Structure 1
Amino acid sequence: MAERWKIRPEGSNWGAFGADDQRGRLNLLTPAVVRRAVQEVVEGRVFCLSLPLDLPGKNVLNPRRFPPRIEYSMRGDDPVINYPVGLVNPGQADVVCDDKVTLSTQYSTQWDSLAHIGSVFDAQDTGKPQVVYYNGFRANEDVRGPFDYLDGRKPQDGPYGLRALGIENMAAAGVQGRGVMLDLFAHFGDTWRAIGYDDVMRVIEADKLEILHGDILCVRTGFDRVLIGCAGDPPPGVASSVGVGLDGSDERLLRWIDDAGIAAIACDNEGVEILPCVTPSKHGSHFPLHEHCLFKLGIHLGEMFHLSDLADWLRAHQRSAFLLTAPPLRLPGAAGSPVTPIATV
């Protein structure tokens, strides 16, 4: 830890879980916390919290992310689709289908790894800021790309990729705990609005939410149903015109996220926080909630979860908590991953 950083960002918890920690607040998902979460299962009913992974559709929400492309595997010159294996006589063979997929890991329902957002920060206290990530892991050493952008786009030797903070660390942690639904849609509807600390406290009080250390906060805005309603053809600007999001520029809200001991945050919108940020210059970041959670605190963020059906059921049954099981793909070196979360009530 002393070698990786000498000073840490104000408000961060670097080192709290050890010098080499790569799990962040998922360390709060202790056996006792998981046992507590299992106690929320009363009926044994299961909700799938993933959108179909070909939604939102096209690349309207993010021009760099595209829908998954599924292709058949090949066996020589033959596509392995309805492929007969060991054909001796007609009607006497096994038939195989085999395929492969190319996808953007953060296109649809997904988790951000702790390497998704870093910051330019002088962790070595040399007077020369560097690109660093949660717990002081460094660009060009632990997260290596083809260029050093702070050094005039200087080329870097390979191999490239994440040597630390990849999504596989989250997968190995299991990601099973007590989910708590913060149903913003039920109180504010789908009008565009930045939700700050006062708004969140009002919802917590009105819905009598109990948020405990190690809980996974699930934020319902209703945007998941907007995406489903678009049927794979979302109009330009849909993400910035419909639905609410957390106000990352609200310092009190950021402090509350820290003080509440939240293990992770999952939301049904594109970015958890409202984008564009209300006052980005105040923080020096265009994504202040991402910076606060991923970079400073090691709180993983989930986006485009399908929460509305579960939220409606919970409200109808006067409940807010449930067992959430949501490990990402164990894909070493990935900055994010699709996920098929399951809520059990």
Structure 2
Amino acid sequence: MIHRHIVLTFLITAISFLLVGTISCESVEESNPFDDLRIRAEQGDKAAQQRSRPQPDSTTQLPERLVTHEQMLEWFEEQKNWGRWGPDDDRGTLNLITPEKTKAAVALVTEGISVRLYHFPDPVNLDEPMPDTSNMRVLNQHWIPGQDPEATEIRGAALDAISFATHDGGNSHIDALCHYPVKDEGYTERPQRIYGGRPMMYTGQGCMGGASIDKMGPGYVTRGVLIDMPLLKGVPYLEKSQALYVEDLEAWEEFSGITIGSGDAVFLRTGRWARREAEGPWNYGGETAGLHASILPWLKERDIAILGGDAVADAQPSGVAQHNRPIHDMLIPMWGTPTIDNGYYLEVAEVAARMQRWEFMVSWTMMQIPNGTATPFMGLATF
């Protein structure tokens, strides 16, 4: 049901925020290109949606690292940040990016080299969907409104439009704090709760109960820390479903000489995009390397501001019953920590390895989508 609601909401969002300019020539009457898309999205592909949802599988957990639903519930109570920044807080751990933290991040810039941390969504053909970028059944497209797409010359100012699903599997995006409800014993009750314990109030107009993306600040500058696991392990990319544990993160801190700290933006590279280039797309939502749930107490102590993955940050399948994505389940509604999905870290990994330096200034803006559950992530790493 949540997936269906997300599809419908973000179809509306994509339509509402098309970046369309006015053309200088005489207006041309055109049909609405989204009529068929809306019908397809409403109908959906239930079988494909079900396949895209990772199912818990205990083989992804070592017996001595087994995390149960009951353990997650205990951690929810022990680790939640509700009320830490006031009862009506909408920014969560982004509050940790203080003016002092930002000034310290700016001081990291010594070379003036900037690289992107984002991936723009690939074109989507709904009749031949890709296994990793068609999860929302919304057409990603770029077109010239009011013009023949086969035209070889158009007079006047050059204008265009785009549309894409914010949570598309190929689009780097920041999840809002209303994106995931609390998955405790009251998960099946209505209304569901979000960060801070407030009612979710998720409607056809988006997140109406607070913690939507437009309430999370205009943008941020802080210290970015890259965790390059393929580099640490000497491989081009990690194995599918490879789980990362506390010792992996501590080994990276020792290797890089960097201790992850309060207010940091942490970017986990598993090699998702390198694997995709070498082997082709796959359903990473059900099978991808990432963090194991047992790292949660360790990561909570680091008090980070935001966590980015080149897939979804969670190891998939998670192995945790009732929690397909336990990292998301904890960070978003309990800590108030936004997550970045589908980040693109190949370029920053190359620069960091060349410079032997895995910390940098990171900057990004937050698109002010009213009641939005996410914003496209267009972050830059500057050395």
Bucket of the pairwise TM-score, normalised by the shorter protein: 0.7 to 0.9
Residue 102 of structure 1 pairs with residue 152 of structure 2: no
Post-superposition CA distance 1:203-225 (Å, at most 9, x none) = 21222222221111111111122
Matches within 5 A, 1:221-236: 221-229=270-278, 234-236=280-282
- Cα displacement (A) at 1:53: 2.4
Residue 38 of structure 1 pairs with residue 106 of structure 2: yes
Structure 1 equivalent of residue 229 of structure 2: 184
Structure 1 equivalent of residue 179 of structure 2: 116
- Cα displacement (A) at 1:102: 2.2
From 131, 135, 142, the counterpart of 2:192: 131
Matches within 5 A, 1:196-345: 196-229=245-278, 234-237=280-283, 244-248=289-293, 250=294, 253-269=295-311, 271-278=312-319, 280-281=320-321, 284-345=322-383
- Cα displacement (A) at 1:44: 0.2
Counterpart Cα distance in 2 of 1:82 and 1:69? 20
Q: Which 5+ residue runs of structure 1 have no aligned equivalent?
A: 1-7, 85-94, 146-159
- Cα displacement (A) at 1:335: 0.9
Note the aligned Cα RMSD (angstroms). Answer: 2.9
Aligned residues of 1:73 and 1:79 also touching (Cα < 8 A): no
Aligned residues of 2:195 and 2:335 also touching (Cα < 8 A): yes
Q: Which 5+ residue runs of structure 2 have no aligned equivalent?
A: 1-75
Compare the two structures and name the one with the higher strand fraction: 1
Aligned residues of 1:179 and 1:218 also touching (Cα < 8 A): yes
From 119, 122, 125, the counterpart of 1:51: 119
One-letter code of the match for 1:306? Y
Counterpart Cα distance in 2 of 1:30 and 1:138? 28
Counterpart Cα distance in 2 of 1:46 and 1:228? 23
- Cα displacement (A) at 1:23: 0.6
- Cα displacement (A) at 1:303: 1.5
Q: How many residues align?
A: 296
Residue 168 of structure 1 pairs with residue 214 of structure 2: yes
Aligned to 2:323, the other structure's residue is in SS state: coil
Aligned residues of 2:289 and 2:316 also touching (Cα < 8 A): no
Counterpart Cα distance in 1 of 2:99 and 2:250? 29
Post-superposition CA distance 1:114-160 (Å, at most 9, x none) = 1111125578xxxx674101112213xx3235xxxxxxxxxxxxxx3
Structure 2 equivalent of residue 149 of structure 1: none
- TM-score scaled by length of structure 2: 0.70
- TM-score scaled by length of structure 1: 0.77
Aligned residues of 1:46 and 1:343 also touching (Cα < 8 A): yes
- Cα displacement (A) at 1:56: 9.0
Post-superposition CA distance 1:42-84 (Å, at most 9, x none) = 1001101222321798441253254522233339x99999654
Which deviates more from structure 2 when the two are superposed, residues 22-31 or residues 129-138?
A: 129-138
Aligned to 1:254, the other structure's residue is in SS state: helix
- Cα displacement (A) at 1:228: 4.5
From 198, 202, 214, the counterpart of 1:143: 202
